[in-house]
């Protein structure tokens, strides 16, 4: 099966390489010429465990190609994925400029019947817009070619993207014709053979599913953060509460960890976009608005604790462990670390940070606003406190003697509740987590 | 062990009966004399599958007793459960009058060491309040344990005897041992007994109900959006429920949650937070959505018919959920009140809750003996509670009885496509 994947970011690259890995003939396209040149040299633009191997293996086998020419990619293809970015516009709605530009270009270049599959996260109704772009482009060149549009939202998580793509909880496909359904069924057959279900549904419901899933996950996080803040005031321990409710199978113990707010390229943007869709239709999505409000204030919680402990922060120096919005990724988009760094700086404090992979990305975004250390312990030297911001595995069981020796004061702010307060206090540290004792 | 259960409502009866069934000598007390008299005659004041047989068996075998004598029962017990009601106050906070009043009585009758167990759903901090009340009356040592109850009406016995977990908030080794012993017969399959501090145990109950209510309101909002954009919330539900981080339970869009727990506990949590200077964001939104959702079915009816004066409607299902006769905060009441206020008339049917509903609504509503009879001459059939008997529609029969072929499905249990093909107009919640 010949497949084109347009947009070679996180989603496009993972989709393209995983499809080639099961034997399909995949061409990935991107307008970013440098990215394509790098990929052709075997240099990946993102950090994603396991991806490099797959790319290398399939490029060598000739099943995976990278190009900046869309012509070449769609020529003879049965399916074309649109996997370009959909950044939030100023009002929070998803910016469809790139998606529609690609649709138009596909219409201009396609050579056979084609299923055009939107993989990017797009608001309900986008498939109709994609269809119109394609029709207009075909008409403009007097072509009688036929096509179908389909919606196939992607649920992969950065940091576990390969695993998520290869062993999905489910695959959601919104289709409008049997022919398109057949193409998608063949495409995903290698992944469904081991029991992972494909749900075929109407296009709008598929588009909606992606937003609803991210919205529910964000809701779980904000719910727990709200409860954690309350636990703190009531003298309860949110870790106990979490175990108490997580053992209820109707709730489950996933995604109910309190912390310093969600970030990344998806939750914040998708929650905003769905709220925006609601507005467009005159419906106020109250829960999601409150989910967002909690998240915004949660990003300030760690700073507030530091401030409450030290009072005036002018001239203070802090060590920060972790920068990326979550472990196993270098993605810094909407990372709580950015807000914390900003606030500390505004209060006159300085920061030395360490992150296993996200430091270049962070430097790229905020430059020398903070200093960077070559390893976790080097970040601690002379700091008034350690702030744990991202729960990378290597931070989980640190050498507390070394930490105490390096810090000016034995104070730890744990934004992810990965340490035990009682244990740390026993060792003479001042500890504060999120809603825990 | 000798157990006293103070309060013989839903929770007290189930808990008491199940403890008797594992061999404990259990006495259930209530201030309501009529209730105790009925229980002594073998009548069970609530509808709960399996409860009646279990009560009869344990009474016959001499392990389960009913009385109104609080003092004597407390004096004769090693473990005293408080399971009285904690209704919502006007400001939404939990009313602790009954809890604190029995605490005083316990204190006055503390003839030897006792473990006092708080089963009622109570705000964080109540454990200590109860301890203080008891201590004011006695020099005897005692323990106070917070042991919130997670049973669901309609499946109460199963839930209690096969719990997902037992939460025990306690600070003494003795109390912990007693609780472990009491619950051991129910935890043989390896489900955990989670021991924590009392504040966290108290919080766990509210957090659990708040999270479940959040899932419901969340899906109701999704249903509203689906309706607006032309998507189908049932498909969306499948699409997100398969995500193991989300899961399927409690993702059904409908007419809002009701009952004696969710609305009250959600409000109590908000009011507890405010008392401590915290403004929660999510739960108030959850409640607001629910209040609106309870009016949605009425709005759909109104939208379809316009003026409702002189219209007649059949309502199926009155209890706040299936398998119970509990009508507290039931969405059916909101719907019926609104229909009546608009000048319409209603004939209702519920397999178990007709009587309870009659007590609440009086003869402003007619009650039918069976589901089909409720449809006679109605302009539309409105489904409010998804009893399984309502799932399969005899469309021919309904066609013959209704004046107009219009169905409002508040629980999305019917297949819109199928009923439309039979000439019905169909409205669900967020489905096509
Ligand atoms: N990153 C995730 O974890 C994730 C998960 C699920 C869904 N999504 C969704 O998938 C979509 C893509 O996300 P991403 O993280 O991969 O974005 P990204 O920014 O990493 O990649 C987008 C790529 O598209 C390219 N592009 C832009 N316009 C183009 C054009 N006209 N032709 C060819 N290429 C073009 C860009 O150069 C870039 O390389 C978004 O809608 C996102 O919401 C992302
Ligand atoms: N019903 C449920 O599904 C459920 C589930 C979990 C927790 N809970 C909680 O359990 C508690 C009890 O709920 P319920 O549904 O059983 O309430 P209920 O109203 O059915 O029963 C309460 C009983 O306590 C009695 N009572 C009141 N004051 C008393 C006193 N001073 N001495 C003795 N008896 C007295 C009342 O007469 C009544 O029979 C509440 O806090 C509730 O929130 C209920």
Q: Is A277 on the interface with B (CB under 8 A)?
A: yes
Size of interface A-B (CB pairs under 8 A): 211
Based on the structure, what is the number of domains in chain B?
2
| B146 Cβ inside 6 Å of ligand 2 | no
Interface test with B, best of A93, A126, A236 (most B CBs within 10 A): A236
The answer to whether residue A160 neighbours chain B at the CB level (below 8 Å) is: no
Average pLDDT of the segment spanning B243-247: 95
Long-range CB contact pairs, A311-315, < 8 A, 24+: A312/A348, A313/A344, A313/A347, A313/A348, A313/A349, A314/A347, A314/A348, A314/A349, A315/A348, A315/A349
Query: Of B148, B167, B196, which residue is a domain's last?
Result: B196
- Euclidean distance between the first and the last CA atom of chain B, given in angstroms as a whole number: 57
ipTM value for the complex = 0.93
Q: Is residue A256 part of a domain?
A: yes
For chain A, say whether B429 makes contact (Cβ under 8 Å): no
Asked if A381 contacts A403 with a C-beta cutoff of 8 angstroms, the reply is no
Note the pLDDT of residue A76. 94
Look up the CATH number of the domain holding residue B99: 3.40.50.720
Residues in chain A with CB shorter than 8 Å from the CB of B226 are: 205, 208
- Specify the number of domains making up chain A: 3
A244, A310: one domain? no
Does A170 contact B222 at a Cβ distance shorter than 8 Å? no
Q: Looking at beta carbons, which residues of chain B come within 8 Å of A230?
A: 203, 269, 272-273, 276, 278, 280
Assign B145 to helix, strand or coil.
Answer: strand
Instruction: Give, using CA atoms, the residue closest to atom 10 of ligand 2.
Output: B120
CA–CA dist A262, B95 (Å, integer): 36
Contacts by A339-342 with C-beta closer than 8 Å and gap 24+? A339/A299, A339/A300, A339/A303, A340/A260, A340/A299, A340/A302, A340/A303, A340/A387, A340/A389, A341/A366, A341/A369, A341/A370, A342/A366, A342/A369
In a domain, B227, yes or no: no
What is the C-alpha to C-alpha distance for residues A167 and A174, in angstroms, rounded to an integer? 20
Domain boundary among A176, A200, A224: A200
In order of A87, A92, A118, A144, A276, the CA distances from A272 in angstroms are 11, 5, 20, 39, 6
- A435 chain-B contacts, CB cut-off 8 A: none
Instruction: Identify whether B114 is part of a domain.
Output: yes
Query: A356 in a domain, yes or no?
Result: yes
Contact across the interface for B210 and A223, Cβ inside 8 Å: yes
Which helix or strand (DSSP H or E) is residue B143 part of? strand B142-146
Which residues, at least 6 apart from B38, have a Cβ–Cβ distance to it below 8 Å?
Answer: B44, B45
Q: Residue A199 belongs to what H/E stretch?
A: strand A198-201
User: Do A288 and A307 lie in a common domain?
Assistant: no
Q: What is the pLDDT of residues B97-152, one digit of tens each?
A: 999 999 999 999 999 999 999 999 999 999 999 999 999 999 999 999 999 999 99
Average pLDDT over residues A397-403: 97
In this prediction, residue B432 carries a pLDDT of 86
pLDDT of amino acid A379? 98
Examine residue B216 and state whether it is found in any structural domain, yes or no: no
A197 contact B CB<8A: yes
Looking at the fold, whether A361 and A387 belong to one and the same domain comes out as: yes
Task: Give the domain-ending residue among A297, A326, A356.
Answer: A297
Which of chain B's residues have a Cβ under 8 Å away from the Cβ of A222?
281-282
The closest-lying atom of ligand 1 relative to the alpha carbon of residue A157 is 3
Most B CBs within 10 Å, among A167, A173, A192, A240, to test the B interface: A240
Same domain, A216 and A303: no
> How far is A299 from chain B, CA to nearest CA, in Å?
15
Q: Which of A169, A236, A288 sits opposite B242 (nearest CB)?
A: A169
B330 reaches A (C-beta below 8 A): no
Checking B297-301 for CB contacts under 8 A at 24+ apart, the result is: B297/B255, B297/B331, B297/B335, B297/B382, B297/B384, B297/B408, B297/B410, B298/B334, B298/B335, B298/B338, B298/B339, B300/B408, B300/B427, B301/B339, B301/B380, B301/B382, B301/B408
- Search chain A and give the residue with CA nearest B125: A234
Q: Measure the CA–CA gap between B75 and B70, rounded to whole angstroms.
A: 9
Boundary-marking domain end, from A200, A230, A249: A200
Query: From the CA of B274, how far away is ligand 1's center (Å)?
Result: 43
Whether A23 contacts A187, CB under 8 Å: no
- A274 in the same domain as A128: no
Between B207, B239, B284, which is nearest A199 by CB?
B239
Task: Among the bound ligands, name the one nearest to the CA of residue B85.
Answer: 2
Q: Is residue A437 part of a domain?
A: no
Interface of B with A in 77-96 (CB under 8 A): none
Q: Does the pLDDT of residue B27 top 90, yes or no?
A: yes
Mean pLDDT of all residues in A182-202: 93
| Average pLDDT rounded to a whole number, residues B306-315 | 98
pLDDT at A195: 83
Q: With contact defined as beta carbons under 8 Å apart, do B346 and B310 qualify?
A: no
CB contact under 8 A, A290 and B246: no
Residues A249 and A370 in one domain: no
Domain that holds residue B143: 2-196
Q: Do A287 and B278 touch (CB under 8 A)?
A: no
Same domain, B303 and B186: no
Chain A CB within 8 Å of residue B431 CB: no
Whether A92 shows a pLDDT value over 90: the answer reads: no
| Number of neighbours of residue A344 by Cβ within 10 angstroms | 24
Residue A320: strand pairing partners: A353, A387
In this structure, the answer to whether residues A136 and A247 fall within a common structural domain is no
User: In the numeric block, which tokens belong to residue B215?
Assistant: 């899932």
- Interior angle at CA B20, CA B18 and CA B25, nearest 5: 155
DSSP result, A6-21: E--SHHHHHHHHHHHH
The residue ranking higher by pLDDT, A94 or B54, is B54
Please report how the helices A238-246 and B198-229 are oriented relative to each other, as an axis angle in degrees rounded to 10: 60
CA angle B145, B147, B152 (to 5 degrees): 165
Would you say A148 and A200 are in contact if contact means Cβ atoms under 8 Å apart?
A: no
CB contact under 8 A, B165 and A244: yes
The CA–CA distances, whole Å, from A392 to A29, A47, A364, A388, A435 equal 33, 14, 21, 9, 20
The CATH number of whichever domain residue A357 belongs to comes to 3.40.50.720
Predicted pLDDT of residue B235: 96
Q: B222–A278: do the CB atoms touch at under 8 Å? A: no
Whether A193 has a pLDDT exceeding 90, the answer reads no
> pLDDT tier at B162 (50, 70, 90 boundaries)?
very high
Contact A222, A294 (CB under 8 A): yes
- From A13, A73, A74, A85, give the residue whose CB has the most ligand 1 atoms within 8 Å, as the site to mutate: A85
Q: Average the pLDDT over each of A29-43, A88-102, A141-155, B21-35 and give the range with the smallest value.
A: A88-102
Atom of ligand 2 at shortest range from CA of B94: 41
Helix/strand/coil percentages in chain A, nearest 5: 45, 15, 40
Query: Going by CA atoms, what residue is nearest to atom 15 of ligand 1?
Result: A10
**Same-domain pairing of A68 and A164:** yes
Indicate whether A343 and A290 sit together in one domain.
no
Among all residues of chain B, which has the CA nearest to that of A257? B245
Domain boundary among B196, B224, B242: B196
* Chain B, window 121-140: residues with a beta carbon less than 8 angstroms from a chain A beta carbon: 124-125
Query: Nearest C-alpha of chain B: how many angstroms from A141?
Result: 33
Choose, out of A93, A157, A192, A230, the residue to mutate when testing the contact with B (most B CBs < 10 Å): A230
- Tell me how crowded residue B361 is: count the other CB atoms within 10 A of its CB: 19
Contact B161, B149 (CB under 8 A): no
E strands, B269-358, are 312-316, 345-349
Claim to verify: residue B54 and residue B178 sit in the same structural domain: yes
Query: Taking the model in full, what pTM does it have?
Result: 0.95
> Hey, are the CB atoms on B229 and A250 less than 8 Å from each other?
no
Residues A15 and A123 in one domain: yes
Residue A256's domain spans which residues?
211-297
Q: What are the pLDDT digits (tens) for B382-429? A: 999 999 999 999 999 999 999 999 999 999 999 999 999 999 999 999
Whether residue A94 contacts residue A273, with contact meaning beta carbons closer than 8 Å, is answered with yes
Whether A96 is covered by a domain: the verdict is yes
B245/A255 Cβ within 8 A? yes
CA A294/CA A223 separation, integer angstroms: 8
Considering only the C-alpha atoms of chain B, give the largest distance between any 2 of them, rounded to a whole number of Å: 75
Decide if A206 is inside a domain. Answer: no
């Amino acid at each position: 099966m010949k497949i084109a994947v347009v947009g070679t970011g996180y989603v496009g690259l993972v989709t393209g390489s995983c499809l080639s890995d099961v034997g399909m003939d995949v061409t990935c396209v991107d307008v970013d010429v440098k990215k394509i040149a790098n990929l052709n040299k075997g240099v990946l633009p993102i950090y994603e465990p396991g991806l490099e191997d797959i790319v290398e293996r399939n490029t060598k086998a000739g099943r995976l190609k990278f190009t900046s020419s869309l012509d070449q990619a769609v020529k003879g293809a049965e399916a074309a994925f649109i996997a370009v970015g959909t950044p939030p516009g100023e009002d929070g709605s998803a910016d469809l400029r790139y998606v529609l530009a690609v649709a138009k270009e596909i219409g201009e270049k396609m050579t056979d019947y084609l299923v055009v599959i939107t993989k990017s996260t797009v608001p309900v109704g986008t498939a109709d817009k994609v269809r119109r772009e394609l029709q207009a482009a075909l008409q403009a060149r007097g072509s009688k070619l036929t096509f179908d549009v389909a919606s196939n939202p992607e649920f992969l998580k950065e940091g576990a993207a390969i695993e998520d793509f290869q062993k999905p909880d489910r695959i959601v496909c919104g289709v409008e014709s049997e022919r398109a359904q057949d193409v998608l069924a063949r495409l995903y057959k290698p992944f469904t053979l081991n029991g992972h279900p494909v749900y075929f549904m109407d296009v709008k419901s598929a588009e909606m599913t992606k937003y609803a899933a991210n919205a529910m996950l964000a809701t779980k996080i904000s719910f727990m953060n709200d409860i954690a803040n309350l636990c703190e005031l009531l003298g309860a321990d949110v870790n106990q509460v979490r175990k108490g409710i997580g053992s209820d199978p109707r709730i489950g113990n996933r995604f109910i960890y309190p912390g310093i707010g969600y970030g990344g390229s998806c939750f914040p943007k998708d929650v905003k976009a769905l709220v925006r869709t609601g507005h467009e239709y005159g419906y106020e999505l109250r829960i999601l608005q409150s989910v967002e409000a909690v998240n915004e204030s949660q990003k300030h919680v760690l700073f507030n604790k530091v401030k409450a402990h030290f009072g005036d922060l002018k001239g203070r120096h802090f060590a920060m462990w972790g920068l990326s919005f979550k472990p196993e990724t270098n993605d810094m988009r909407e990372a709580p670390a950015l807000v914390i760094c900003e606030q500390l700086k505004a209060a006159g404090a300085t920061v030395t940070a360490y992150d296993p992979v996200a430091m270049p990305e962070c430097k790229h975004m905020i430059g020398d606003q903070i200093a960077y250390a070559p390893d976790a312990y080097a970040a601690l030297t002379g700091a008034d406190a350690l702030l744990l911001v991202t729960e990378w595995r290597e931070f989980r069981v640190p050498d507390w003697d070394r930490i105490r020796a390096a810090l000016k004061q034995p104070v730890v702010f744990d934004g992810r509740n990965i340490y035990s307060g009682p244990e740390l206090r026993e060792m003479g540290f001042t500890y504060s987590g999120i809603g825990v004792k | 062990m000798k157990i006293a259960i103070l309060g013989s409502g839903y929770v007290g009866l189930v808990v008491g009966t199940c403890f008797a069934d594992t061999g404990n000598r259990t006495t259930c007390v209530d201030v309501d004399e009529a209730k105790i008299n009925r229980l002594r005659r073998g009548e069970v004041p609530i509808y709960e599958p399996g409860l009646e047989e279990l009560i009869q068996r344990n009474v016959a075998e001499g392990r389960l007793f009913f009385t109104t004598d609080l003092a004597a029962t407390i004096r004769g017990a090693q473990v005293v459960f408080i399971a009285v009601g904690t209704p919502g106050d006007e400001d939404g906070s939990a009313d602790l009058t009954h809890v604190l009043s029995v605490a005083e009585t316990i204190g006055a009758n503390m003839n030897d060491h006792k473990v006092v167990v708080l089963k009622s759903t109570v705000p964080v901090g109540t454990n200590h309040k109860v301890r203080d009340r008891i201590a004011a009356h006695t020099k005897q040592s005692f323990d106070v344990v917070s042991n919130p109850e997670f049973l669901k009406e309609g499946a109460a016995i199963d839930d209690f005897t096969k719990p997902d977990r037992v939460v025990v908030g306690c600070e003494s080794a003795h109390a912990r041992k007693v609780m472990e012993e009491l619950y051991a017969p129910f935890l043989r399959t390896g489900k955990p007994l989670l021991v924590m501090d009392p504040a966290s145990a108290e919080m766990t109950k509210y957090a659990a109900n708040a999270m479940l209510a959040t899932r419901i309101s969340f899906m109701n909002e999704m249903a509203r959006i689906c309706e607006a954009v032309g998507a189908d919330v049932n498909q969306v539900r499948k699409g997100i429920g398969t995500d193991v981080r989300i899961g399927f339970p409690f993702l059904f869009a409908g007419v809002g949650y009701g009952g004696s727990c969710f609305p009250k506990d959600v409000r109590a949590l908000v009011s507890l937070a405010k008392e401590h200077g915290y403004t929660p964001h999510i739960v108030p939104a959850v409640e607001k959505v629910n209040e609106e959702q309870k009016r949605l079915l009425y709005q759909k009816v109104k939208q379809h018919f316009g003026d409702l004066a002189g219209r007649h409607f059949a309502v199926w299902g009155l209890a706040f959920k299936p398998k119970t006769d509990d009508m507290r905060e039931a969405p059916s009441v909101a719907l019926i009140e609104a229909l009546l206020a608009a000048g319409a008339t209603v004939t209702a049917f519920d397999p178990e809750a007709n009587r309870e509903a009659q007590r609440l609504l009086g003869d402003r509503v007619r009650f039918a003996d069976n589901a089909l009879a409720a449809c006679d001459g109605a302009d539309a059939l409105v489904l409010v509670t998804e009893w399984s008997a309502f799932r399969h529609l005899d469309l021919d029969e309904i066609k013959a009885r209704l004046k107009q072929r219009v169905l409002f499905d508040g629980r999305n249990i019917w297949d819109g496509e199928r009923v439309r093909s039979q000439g019905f107009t169909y409205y669900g919640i967020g489905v096509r």
